[in-house]
Structures are given as C-alpha cells and as structure tokens.
Structure 1
Amino acid sequence: MITGEGYKDKTPRSRIAAAWGYTRRTGISNSVRAHWASRRGKKVLVGIFVVLLCASLFVVNIIRFSIGLIRGQSLNRILIRSLAIEEENTPVVLLAENESKAAPELAGIDWAAKNIEDKWEQPVVRRLHLNPSDLKDEDLVMPIMYAMGVELQGDHDLDMALCQFDISPYHRNPEQFPMSRDLVGAFCSKNRLKHKLASVHAVDERAGKQLQPTGFIFHESRVGSTLVANMLASVPTNLVYSEPSVPAHVIHLCKNAGCSEETTVRLLRMAILAMGRSHHHDHFFIKFSSSTVVDMDLILKAFPETPWAYIYRDPVEIIVSNFQRGRGGPCIRAKKNAPKAVQDILETDRRGASRVSDEEYCAAHLTMLCQAALEQMELPGSKGHAVAYETLVEDVLRVLVPGHFGVSMNSEETARMTAQSELYSKARTGETVFQGDTEQKQERATQAMQVAAEKYLKEPTERLRLASTLGRSQLEIDATLRAQEARVYERTGSRFFQLPHCPDEPESPPGVPIMDILGNWNMDDTAIPPRHYNTLCRFDYQTEYDKALRYRDAEMPFVVYNIPEFDETVEKWNSEGYLAEALEGGEYTTQVSKDNHFMYYRLSKSLKPAGYIPPTRTERWSYDHWLHEARKSKNLSTDSEHYYFRVSDRDSPIVRQDLTIFTSRESTLFMKEPEMSRGIHCRFGMRSVIAEAHFDASRNMVSLVSGTRRWILAHPRECKHAYLLPTGHPSARHTEVDWSAPDLQKYPDFVNLVANEVLLTPGEVLNVPAWWIHTIENLDINIQCNSRSGDSTVGLKDLKRCGFFSHDK
C-alpha cells in the first residue's frame, strides 16, 4: 500500500511518480509499475480477482455436491412453514424444496384447504420392521427430520431448527458420527429451518410417528457413554441422539429468561417429543452431555416414566482422561466461574474455587455430577440405574437394554451391538479397534489426581457401586424375561403386552380378561398380531430345570425349551421326506369338520340326545393325502371342511422311537407318573383348525414339533364363567361358547372369564395341568405330540362346584 504524508494532496501526475518511486524501492518490474500507474490496470486486477474467487467457489460447491451424493445426503432441504386458515383456525403445512419456491404460496393467508394435498410433498417413505441386515443394502434410505437447535419465543413457545437427511449412514457406522453435531455438520446446510413446535405436533403423522423416550443416558464424561450410544444406534430401529444441543439450549434459554420450573419442564417435554419423531424407528434414546447432569431433575420431571442410566467410572481414570490432552477438559471449563454446588464441595467461594489446583477442581466438578445423579436415583420409585464402566458392554447387552429399558433384542441385533462395542467410539475417520486403557490411566495418574479423587469422589462412587449392585439382580431377572420375549418375537414377529411374573416359588400366572385377549386377536384369525398377552413363564431346560420342576409339581402351566434330545426330533421330523417315508403305506385316523371348529364327542346308548348331530366325522387317510389337503388351507375359508390328522405310538414305531422325552420309565420333568401314561399321540393340524375349549382330567405335556400353535388356558375356577356342557352330554367338558364369536347376550357371564395366552413354537413343551380349561388354534401346518402322566386333585374342587363330580374323560 502506498502511503506518505501529503500523498492525497498531490496531482495525478505526482501520484504516478510517487507510485513509480514505491515500485522501484520494492523491486517490482516496469511493466507492473505501468499497470499500477493506470486506473485501467487496477480494474483489470480487480476483475481477475473476482473471476478467480467465483471459480474457486464453483469448484468448492462441486466437491460438496459430490460428497453429498456419496454420503446419501438429501440435497433438497425440506422447508416447513405453518399457516392458519382463518375460517377453521386449523394449522396447515407447505413443504417446498426451498424458501423462494414456497414464498408465493405463503404470501396469501386465504390459501384454500382443498389445495393442501396437491402442495404436499411427502418427506419420507414409510419403512417398518427394519432389521440390522437391512443396513447391508447400500440403497436403503431412511430420511428423518432432525432437530438441530431451538430459540425461545417469549416464555411459552419455541422455534426449532430442523434438517432433513438420510440417517442410514449413521446406523451403518455410528463411530463415524459419535455426536449429534457430527451428523448436523455432515448432512445439514447452514440454512437451518425454523418451525414452531405447535406446528410440528400438528403434522406428526406426516413427519413421522411420535416416539416416547425409551431411555435416557447420563454420565460423568469420559466413561464410555458414547460407546453405549453407538451400540444402540447400530440397530436401525433405534433413534439415538448423542449429546444433542436442543435440551441443553432449552434449559439455558429458560434460565436466562427467568422461566419458572413448570414452564421449563413443559418446554423440555415439547422439545424432546419433537425430536422423537420418525417413520423408521421404534425406540428413542438420548445420551445427554455431562454438563446436563446438574439439571437432570428437570428432564426427569418432564418424563417421569422414562428409565435412565448413569454411567460412572473409577474417578482417578476419569481425571486422567480429562487431562490427557493437556491442561483442561470438560471438568475444569467453568473453573473461573464455578457453580455454587462446586463452591460448596470445595468449601470456598467463587474466587477461592478459581485458585485451587486443576486436579482438585476437576474432582469437585465430578462430585457435583455424582451427587446430582444420586439425589435422583435415591428418590422413592426412581427409574435410575447406575452402570459401571468396568462391566459396561456386558451390562448394556444383558441388563440395561433388555432389563431396564425394556427392549427385546433378537440375535442379529445383539450381534451387531456386540460388534459395535469392539470399535473405538469416536473413529470419525474410519474404523479403529478399541483398546482398553484402564491400566495405562492408573499408571499415568499423578499424586495430585489420586489425592483429589480420594478426598472428594470416594464416598459418592461407593454409593453408586452399591446402587448398581442392588438394582442389578432385579434387572437381570427382567433381562431374562426380555430374552424370552425376544426369542418369541424372533420366531413369531409378536411381542408381549407385559412380561410374565416368574418368581422362584411357583405362583398361578396372572390372568387377562378373555375379551381383551379375543379383542386383540380373534380365534378365527391366523395372522399373528404385533403383540399378544403372553402370561406363562418359559424356562430353559439346561439352566432352569429345577425351577421348571417346582412349577410342574405345583400344577402350574409353563413352557420349557432348549431340550437337546427333543431338538434332535424337531430337526429330524422337519427334514424333507422323513415323515412321508416313515408313514408311507399307512392310513391313520383323520377327523373331518364342516368348518374350522373341532369338538370332541362320545356317543353311546346312554349318551345320545334326540336330534344330536356329531360335530365331526372320522375317516382313514394316508399322510400324503392329508398333507395335500392341508396345503390348500391358505386359500380356505373358515366355513370350509377342515381336517385333523392323528398318529399315535400304536400306529407307527417312529413316534416312540423319536419322542424319547415321553418314553422314560422313571419320573422326569415330562412324565411325573410314567406308569400312568396313556401313550404318545401326535396331532397334525392344518391352518385355522380350532380345538374347542375344554378340560382334561390328567396332566398333559404337549410338545410342538413344527409350525406354530396358539393356546389359551384358564384356571379350573373359571368354569363358572365358561358355560361348560354338563356330564351326560356327548361333548361334556367342552364349552358351549364359540370363542371366535361369543354370544354375550346368551352367555353374559363369559366376559368375566380370565385366561392365559401363549404361542408355542418348535422345540417347546407346554405343561398343561389337570383340569385347566384350554383351547388351541392352529396358525399354520403343524405337528403337536403329547403324553399324559397321572391326574391331580388340584383344581378338582373348583370343577365340582360347577357340577362335575367324576374323572369323566
């Protein structure tokens, strides 16, 4: 730059001469001097600069465009704007690719409601029931409206910044986007879209189904919380926010605005619910930043029913981790303006807190977090659970997710979470195998760190360990039950409405009103619903044999699985051609009904009412004949003829030869009194066949070899509501009520019956105690084999009160 006293006062010629003198001193060539000396040269240089700048910006945008395509970024941002139709005061929404396109439509308030559907651009394609295997499909797209930030409007409303992008890359590689800000930085433009929360709620059906928070994660910092978030995010049905800015912003804005606690809690609830909206996810988790722990009471008041976890670690290791990249870290960021809680811990004022050593201040800060978590965890009815870093992965898989958060995981989801746990949680540039560093941190700890940890954190850490130990046993029980649910879900696609109650000392399973069971799933419907009322316990034969034995001796119904010798039979009988060859050439008992309902009857001279028409007829069929007819059942109506095929150990040697669980001469779990056995009977069911509700006088073990059956059982005391046909009737012991279409005017007391429901799948054995009323629905082609072993007096008194006085079969 040419400067000098009196330069501006010189004539143009003098200025040129001054410029020449400057260039001589700086060594610039004559040609350049000439350009500098002319105004035209200056304009040319400016023009060249502008052209180069534009070209650079063009190249940068081309690169960003290419990266966006590679990462699956949604290039068209969806702008959400809300309007109010004055006539109806109804919020309506316009989605456009950009603001300029939307502006003409937004200009008039008299926008007609009938045009809404024409203007709407559906932001996402609904895709349900995603599995981890879907992530292998690189073309899988999961668009989502993602919350980026909020602004407070007065003290009663919020504006939220939203961005739409494809979240599937996050589910594929959570470690590359360990924080919410990484997703925002990778996929969202600088033009954040603001949208009032009230309007967001008005369009939740189109922007996505509303998810309630499944679980919250709080932590001390540097304790593996990001790893937990990544493990959860590796399952595509989990919507996970990892340290999002929205909740912290709401709290901060409300503090600055002087909001009441009630208002803050309400706005937090609005904001978090707005975050939990998705077409693709079933569960919603938030891992909060460590700084949010001091305000966690507000979050928990907003969502008092949401279970939460607090992750902690050996305090020395946390302090070392905070200092490993130099002097600092999250624990000393507020040292110059220490919170009142930290001052109280240090027993000093704000000025004194700023003068203590960094190690001591860090320990006091961590103590503040622990105390805040413990205060909430020790409240009556708290939903909190402490998780130790030392057993983090095991606890997440076995206790936290299935037991505490109540999420059933199938084997593929568990495997994916396990694989994710082996990666470094913040590998933004690519996969890095995680290396444990507990020993290294202990070795790097200075004496100052150890003294500070001992002084301030010993007591709260011990309280956290105690809370973790006390809560773990019940959570392990819940996790076991969730594992059972996951097993059923993996086989049937149906979850439980509630977990069964399975105490060590047998108790009768809690019943469910029969109309709730049938209202959720009609008996004539073979399509398995998303949820069913499973209330029976399932026991692993390998690990819970003694418990199953106690339940059997107490005459309680239950299911047992993982039976090696029976699993071999299941595999053999389901192998192609085995049964066809084994049963070839024989003809076997086949019951034929005019519709899908089958009711046992017994006729004799003394049991033949006038005008009585037997409900079924008996024929002799080959196995191939029955199988041919059964395969047509997919296209049969319930009013068409149905067939029930039977083979016993008297009909074919393979029954006794293969079903060895029923052939022991000594008492076993499956045969309490083997000497009272009446043989082994296998019933081959076709789709839609229903065995009408009835009771039997002997205990019965029912094994399922193939297919799926639905059982509904009721305690003998329910006979007073079941309208059982009396002794003397050909179908005595059976109910008069058609459970697929109960006539409540004719049988009004039927609504008071309570029952238990269970789905039986291959390899499982159901214990049906004597006298229990039960009905069976065949959901597909299946094989069930059972054997009886003695009777019982438990429940007999209840049936006597209903008019049954003998062991009538």
Structure 2
Amino acid sequence: MEDLNLEGWLPIRLWQEVGQWRVDWCWFGDQRLSQPFFSDAVEQALRLPFNQAFRRQTPLDALGQWQRQSPGLEPGAFIFHASRCGSTLISQMLARLDDHIVISEPPPLDALLRSDLPTAERCVALKGLMSAYGQRRRGVEQRLVIKLDAWNIGELALLRECFPDTPWLFLYRAPLEIAVSHIRRPGMHMVPGLIGASVLDDGTPFDGQEDYVARRLGRLLQVGLEHCRAFAGTAVNYDELPEAMAGRLGGLFRLDTEQRGQVFSAVSQHAKQPAQAFAGDSEDKRREASPLLRDRVERWAQAPYQSLESLRMVEAKTKGSVSTPKD
C-alpha cells in the first residue's frame, strides 16, 4: 500500500457509503484548535479557499495506515460530563497551553463509538482517529485531551479497552441547574429521537418535557456513577471549578506549576462564548425551576447525584481535599 500524505489534515466526518465506512478530512495546517468545540474549528477551517477547492476522502482503514506512518500522541485524559456543567470551561482552560491539543466533542468520535462495527475493528479505528487528532502539527505538542459528548459515557468501557491507562473524569452539577438549562435550550440528547439510540434511553413513555429531561439526566448521572466505581473515574462537581485546576485536576492533567497558573487566563471569559464575560447563574436557575421540574428532578436525578457526591467525598480522603457543593 502506498504511503499517505495527510500532514496538516484532520478527520472531520465519518459516515457509511454503500455499507463501507469513509473518512472526510479537512486541512488545518498548523492552526491551533482554540475554539470551544471542534465543530467550531471545522466551520472556520472550511472557509479557507484551499478547503473550498480541495477535499480529501479516504476509506476508514486510512486511519490505521496514517497512524503507522506518523504516530500521534495518545490521549492523556478523557473528559466525560453530564452536560451544562463546566466541561467546556475545563477544555478552554487547557486550550490556553501551547503544548496541549484539546479536541472538544468531535463528531467523528461519536460516530465511531456508536457505530455497528465489530469491537476489534472499532478499537483499531479509534486508535487511528486519536492518532490523527494527536499529530504534532506545530511541533511543540506534548499532551492530547479529548472531551466527549455527554451521552458517550455509555461507550466508556470501549474506550477503556482501547486506552486502558488514560485517566478520565466525570463532571456533573446539581441536577436541577442542569435541567433548567435544558428546559431553556435543549441539548441534542434532550430532544426525543435526535441522537438515535443511546445509553440514556430507558424504554418507557415520558410525560412532557420536564419528565423527559429529568429522566435522561438521572440516567446520565447513574451511568456516570456506575462507571466511576467500575473504571476508577474521578468524580468532579461543577462547584469545584475553576479552583480544582490548581489542585487535584492539575494533577490528573499532569500540569506543572507554571501551567496551573496559565490555565486561569480563561476563567474570566464565558467558556462557550469567549467574547463575553463569565457570570455564575446557579441561583438564577434554581429560582427559575418550576414546581413540576423540581418534582421530576427529585424523583429521577437526585439520588444518583447524591451518590456521586458520596463517592467524591470518599475520593477526597485518599486524593486530597474537595469543596462542599452549595445548597
């Protein structure tokens, strides 16, 4: 097989065509990925005249071939989360570091994780995909951090099989605050049928938006709890941020003293809208919650949240102090 030349190119889409998986690539050159989401970086890159004139598509096995020719960094950490709880803040803090590659919720990863490929074949492709994202395009990169979509907690076991030594965290927040955010502006996984089958499905009818959001959120927190216990994940509460990046999360991400200071330059900005200043909204969300939403969250999501908090406190005894969440 002849050598590939994919230097400066990154996978932006995986899809099936006549039963065969294919990869769509976009040229980034040495451009850093500093946007809140990978899709934002792709949208910007696709505006380049070069990408409007030239596109590359390959079979799926090109990922493995490119990995063999040009091995990239292996993932240094995975960020899982319950959505709307600070994961973008963490990824944007890490993106301030010149030697870090931060890939935030890349659609090709979700497509591959939830594909119907045999496990062994998926693992080979996942390693190739990570290697493609971990290319040292600027020559200074030392760490690769991947933030996944919220529902990908269901595929954690597969990632652990492929990358057994990669540390990971599960970030969550008081469930009522998450639920209010999704009532205001539903995420993809909070719209019936939008993301297809996932670990969040419970197979029973739901009674309105409040019931649907609360039940799926409860399922998300429960699976996160079970996986933290089974696969040695680090449970992190939103209320620990951003200070935890100077403490136990700095250790998880293997940041040195200088880096632990550098990441805080992102704290004053809104993580998802960097042009805006950040302002806390926990109290506003609690006041906004309707009695029905409060009832559904209490029924479906409060118990796994409290169990995550108990687990987090147990971790504190062996890994250092953690903050107490606000009421």
TM bucket, shorter chain: 0.7 to 0.9
Residue 197 (structure 1) shift: 1.6
Q: Which residues in structure 2 correspond to 1:338-487 (within 5 Å)?
A: 344=202, 349=204, 352-353=205-206, 356-379=207-230, 382-402=231-251, 404-405=252-253, 407-411=254-258, 413-427=259-273, 431-476=275-320
Moved beyond 6 Å, runs of 4+: none
Q: Which residues in structure 2 correspond to 1:159-170 (within 5 Å)?
A: 159-166=22-29, 168=31, 170=33
Residue of structure 1 in register with 2:187 after alignment: 329
Q: Distance in 2 between matches of 1:212 and 1:460?
A: 32
Residue of structure 2 in register with 1:236 after alignment: 98
Residue 374 (structure 1) shift: 1.9
Residue 94 (structure 1) shift: 5.2
SS for the counterpart of 1:194 is: strand
SS for the counterpart of 1:426 is: coil
* Amino acid across the alignment from 1:467: L
| Pair 1:419–1:315, CA change in 2 (3 A) | same
| Pair 1:262–1:272, CA change in 2 (3 A) | same
* Amino acid across the alignment from 1:305: D
Residue of structure 2 in register with 1:795 after alignment: none
| Pair 1:433–1:267, CA change in 2 (3 A) | same
Q: Mark the runs of 5 or more structure 1 residues left unpaired by the alignment.
A: 1-83, 85-90, 96-122, 124-143, 478-809
Residue of structure 1 in register with 2:43 after alignment: 185
Q: Distance in 1 between matches of 2:193 and 2:67?
A: 40
Counterpart pick for 1:251 among 106, 113, 129: 113
Residue of structure 2 in register with 1:146 after alignment: 10
Q: Distance in 1 between matches of 2:197 and 2:222?
A: 14
| Pair 1:194–1:320, CA change in 2 (3 A) | same
CA contact (8 A) 1:162 1:192 kept: yes
Q: Which residues in structure 2 correspond to 1:542-557 (within 5 Å)?
A: none
SS for the counterpart of 1:317 is: helix
1:34-63, Cα deviation, whole Å (9 max, x unpaired) = xxxxxxxxxxxxxxxxxxxxxxxxxxxxxx
| Pair 1:266–1:472, CA change in 2 (3 A) | farther
Percent identity among equivalent residues? 24
CA contact (8 A) 2:245 2:260 kept: no
CA contact (8 A) 1:335 1:361 kept: no
| Pair 1:182–1:342, CA change in 2 (3 A) | closer
Q: Which residues in structure 2 correspond to 1:624-635 (within 5 Å)?
A: none
Residue of structure 1 in register with 2:165 after alignment: 305
SS for the counterpart of 1:221 is: coil
* Amino acid across the alignment from 1:383: A
SS for the counterpart of 2:235 is: strand
CA contact (8 A) 1:399 1:472 kept: no
CA contact (8 A) 1:310 1:385 kept: yes
Q: Distance in 2 between matches of 1:387 and 1:178?
A: 20
Q: Which residues in structure 2 correspond to 1:679-758 (within 5 Å)?
A: none
Q: Which residues in structure 2 correspond to 1:444-593 (within 5 Å)?
A: 444-476=288-320
CA contact (8 A) 1:310 1:387 kept: yes
Residue of structure 2 in register with 1:291 after alignment: 151
| Pair 1:342–1:181, CA change in 2 (3 A) | closer
* Amino acid across the alignment from 1:162: W
| Pair 1:212–1:342, CA change in 2 (3 A) | closer
| Pair 1:340–1:245, CA change in 2 (3 A) | closer
Q: Distance in 2 between matches of 1:303 and 1:94?
A: 26
| Pair 1:449–1:372, CA change in 2 (3 A) | same
Q: Does 1:272 align with 2:130?
A: yes
SS for the counterpart of 2:129 is: helix
Counterpart pick for 1:203 among 49, 69, 76: 69
| TM-score, scaled relative to structure 1 | 0.36
Larger Rg: 1
CA contact (8 A) 2:26 2:55 kept: yes
Give the length in aligned residue pairs: 311
Q: Distance in 2 between matches of 1:397 and 1:148?
A: 33
| Pair 1:424–1:306, CA change in 2 (3 A) | same
Residue 166 (structure 1) shift: 4.8
Residue 318 (structure 1) shift: 0.3
Q: Mark the runs of 5 or more structure 2 residues left unpaired by the alignment.
A: 322-327
> Is 463-472 or 190-199 further displaced after alignment?
190-199
* Amino acid across the alignment from 1:230: Q
Q: Which residues in structure 2 correspond to 1:54-65 (within 5 Å)?
A: none
| Pair 1:292–1:397, CA change in 2 (3 A) | same
Residue 337 (structure 1) shift: 9.3
Q: Does 1:194 align with 2:40?
A: no
Structure ranking higher on relative contact order (CA contacts 8 Å, 6+ apart): 2
Q: Distance in 1 between matches of 2:200 and 2:108?
A: 25
* Amino acid across the alignment from 1:150: L
| Pair 1:282–1:394, CA change in 2 (3 A) | same
Residue 362 (structure 1) shift: 0.6
1:71-94, Cα deviation, whole Å (9 max, x unpaired) = xxxxxxxxxxxxx3xxxxxx3345
Residue 336 (structure 1) shift: 8.5
CA contact (8 A) 2:188 2:194 kept: no
SS for the counterpart of 1:373 is: helix
SS for the counterpart of 1:218 is: strand
SS for the counterpart of 1:92 is: coil
CA contact (8 A) 1:363 1:453 kept: yes
RMSD between superposed Cα atoms in Å: 2.7
